[in-house]
Amino acid sequence: MTAATGTIVAAGITPRAAGFRMPAEWEPHAGCWMAWPERPDTWRLGAKPAQAAFARLANAIARYEPVTMLVSASQWGNAVRHLDPAVRVVEMTTNDAWLRDTGTTFLIDEQGCLGGVDWQFNGWGGLSDGLYFPWDADDAVAAKMCDLERARRFRAPLVTEGGAIHVDGQGTILTTEACLINRNRNPDMTRADVETALCDYLGAEHVIWLADGVPDDITGGHVDNLACFVAPGVVLLAWCDDPADPHYAVSREAEARLLAARDAAGRHLRVERIPMPTPMFLTEEEASGLDRTNPRLSSSAGDRLAASYVNFLIVNDAVIAPAFGVPTDCVAEAILTRLFPAHAIVMLPSREILLGGGNIHCVTQQQPWPRGA
């Protein structure tokens, strides 16, 4: 017989104090969560091309681990028809489909219990810099996910998004000043306050700060489009060798900081480079399919897309990575194959996701597999 479990909002106690940590993405997953794209100011042509792309992504991940797709009441029946029967389709209201940013950041403790961080979400920068208003449904997603999984929920005392942080699962956090030290998120917190909160809520001990994200990233500069851990002590960095490209300086600055840093275990980091994709731009046809009701989301033809191969997801036994149909795709695939020799490398065409402003990592959220379960 089970005891009643349910969500507990731990008032005062932090995940770290309660023995929780965020595992690395390469640790075993119980599954992966996504949300269904709908809003016609983010996704062109009534989100129909994006829905097809999200369905292909969900169905691809479902070959490796269970997938839960969160869908609004009105789109539920349509989503069910697009998705493999193995995908669990769950009704949930959202403001948009960036589950990396709005979903809970799942945690585990040493007993294998599941926890979840409920970050405060303000639409990537609130009324001044955010991408849309309202964002109340998005801010409730993490709590609803915790309840669905009966995970212990920890509401965090700071505004951030899951895409703004990466961890090595061994005490180290990777993030950017552009997002975390920004008055549009946490105007009253110092850098030290932010470090304390991140470590307390991710069960970590050390923060490595990069400066900016990749250029043209509408999130303000999420680390998950710039760099990620691929193993303890190893960081993969989106690299650019064209001095005329604004990412040239960004990638050099990031590499310098990474090489100067040590992780929580005291290790120097090895930096692996992966090229930025051949530059890509929004076409006239693509721009014309957007509802132009929101000035913050009104991309124009010719705008550069914030494409990056770093925006992949590690799942059980595979890496699901973006492909853009450009020559750099093969280079990226070769690098990922070398870095993940025990994983299948699945390159998935993802331009329709990119058009919305993110990519595979931005629209997914892994749930760790509890040890011993």
Which residues within the stretch 278-317 sit at the binding site for a second copy (CB under 8 A)?
316-317
From the CB of 32, what's the least distance to a second copy, in Å? 10
- By the 8 A CB rule, do 334 and 319 touch? no
211 near a second copy (CB under 8 A) = no
Tell which one of 147, 177, 216, 272 touches a second copy (CB under 8 A): 147
Q: How many residues does the chain have?
A: 373
Number of H helices, E strands in the chain: 11, 17
Tell which one of 45, 137, 211, 234 touches a second copy (CB under 8 A): 137
Which residues within the stretch 8-67 sit at the binding site for a second copy (CB under 8 A)?
8-9, 28, 30-31, 62-67
Q: Of 135-143, 156-164, 268-276, 327-335, which part binds a second copy (CB under 8 A)?
A: 135-143
Q: How many residues bind a second copy (CB under 8 A)?
A: 41
CA Rg value for the chain: 19
| Per-residue x/- track, 176-205, a second copy (CB under 8 A) | ------------------------------
Specify the 3-state DSSP secondary structure of 129: helix
User: Tokens in use for 315?
Assistant: 């799942």
The rounded Cα 319 to chain-centroid distance in angstroms is 14
From the CB of 202, what's the least distance to a second copy, in Å? 23
From the CB of 88, what's the least distance to a second copy, in Å? 5
Rounded to the nearest 10°, the torsion over CA 329, 334, 337, 339 is -110
7 near a second copy (CB under 8 A) = yes
Closer residue to a second copy, CB minimum distance, 76 or 209? 76
Long-range contacts of 112-115 (CB under 8 A, 24+ apart): 112/370, 112/371, 112/372, 112/373, 113/20, 113/152, 113/370, 114/149, 114/150, 114/151, 114/152, 114/367, 114/368, 114/370, 115/15, 115/18, 115/20, 115/151, 115/152, 115/153, 115/154
- Helix H or strand E encompassing 90: strand 88-91
Q: Of 3-11, 211-219, 250-258, 297-305, which part binds a second copy (CB under 8 A)?
A: 3-11
371 near a second copy (CB under 8 A) = no
Closer residue to a second copy, CB minimum distance, 148 or 181? 148
**Exposed (0-12), middle (13-18) or buried (19+): which is 209, by Cβ within 10 Å?**
middle
Catalytic (active site) residue 362: yes
90 near a second copy (CB under 8 A) = yes
Rounded to the nearest 10°, the torsion over CA 309, 315, 319, 322 is -40
Which of the residues are catalytic? 362
* Chain residues in the site for a second copy (CB under 8 A): 1-2, 4-9, 28, 30-31, 62-67, 73, 76-77, 80, 84-93, 137, 140, 143-144, 147-148, 150, 316-317, 369
